[in-house]
Amino acid sequence: MKNIRLIIEYDGTQYCGWQRQNNGMSIQQVIEEAIKQITNEQVKLIGSSRTDAGVHAKGFVANFVTNSKIPSERFKNAINAKLPEDIVIIDSSEVEESFHARYSAKGKKYSYSVLNRPIAAAICRAYTCQHKGLLNCEAMREGAKAFIGTHDFSAFKSSGSSVKTTVRTIYELEIVKHEDNIMFYVSGDGFLYNMVRIIVGTLLEVGSGKIKPIDIVDIIDSKDRDRAGKCVPAKGLCLEKVYY
């Protein structure tokens, strides 16, 4: 029995998300079926997160237990040979029995890509979300500071998930502009359902001048979902890295 850890990159455009569902093809199912083809085992892949439909990942982590004799580092190429081109295994290695992709995770880093121009994207349109009005990055950076640290993020959570606590710690929130692309990088010890997308949606309101950077403090304190910004579309979001 070996516990194998996979690092996975995927383009989420064509999938209903990471987790197996009845209403569409999931990334989990596609990889489990690829593993079945090479091991003859119906493994259960444990994923680090439940990414939504359309969300991408560069460094998703998953693990599974197997009796297969395939050397751990060979799983990478063996599974890739059975996968469609929108999912690739970047790395495979044996980890200790106690490793659990979800429960062992200490933190995560996400990116969100905004194309800030009047015309929609043609190139890379599956990986970025257009915002027409010119955004003030300085104001967004000022507002972003309020998120750093440990807070009750109830105002930044979509309904439909049950969690023990809504307190999370954000380590870093960086905003990088290159030409008309604005990248948001957020890392923290964990994220509530849609939390990154609602944080970005709230910062876009700051960047548009609809709310002031200082207002973010009040919005967090209010714990009121209605006071935060919109949940921006899934396609701009990418799970960059999981920390253990």
Q: Per this entry, what is the length of the chain? A: 244
Closest approach of a copy of itself to the CB of residue 13, in Å: 10
Which residue do the tokens 């960047």 mark? 207
Q: Which of 3, 10, 194, 199 touches a copy of itself by CB under 8 A?
A: 10
Q: Which of 120, 163, 176, 214 touches a copy of itself by CB under 8 A?
A: 120
Establish if 214 lies at the interface with a copy of itself (CB under 8 A). no
Nearest one of 75, 65, 26, 17 to 45, comparing CA atoms: 65
Establish if 11 lies at the interface with a copy of itself (CB under 8 A). yes
* CA triple 18-46-22, angle to 5 deg: 45
Q: Which of 124, 163, 176, 214 touches a copy of itself by CB under 8 A?
A: 124
* CA triple 96-50-240, angle to 5 deg: 75
Establish if 32 lies at the interface with a copy of itself (CB under 8 A). no
Q: Which of 40, 85, 103, 164 touches a copy of itself by CB under 8 A?
A: 85
d(CA 61, CA 229): 29
Establish if 135 lies at the interface with a copy of itself (CB under 8 A). no
Establish if 86 lies at the interface with a copy of itself (CB under 8 A). yes
Q: Is 152 a catalytic residue?
A: no
Q: Are 122 and 28 in contact (CB under 8 A)?
A: no
Establish if 123 lies at the interface with a copy of itself (CB under 8 A). yes
d(CA 192, CA 102): 14
Establish if 241 lies at the interface with a copy of itself (CB under 8 A). no
Establish if 89 lies at the interface with a copy of itself (CB under 8 A). yes
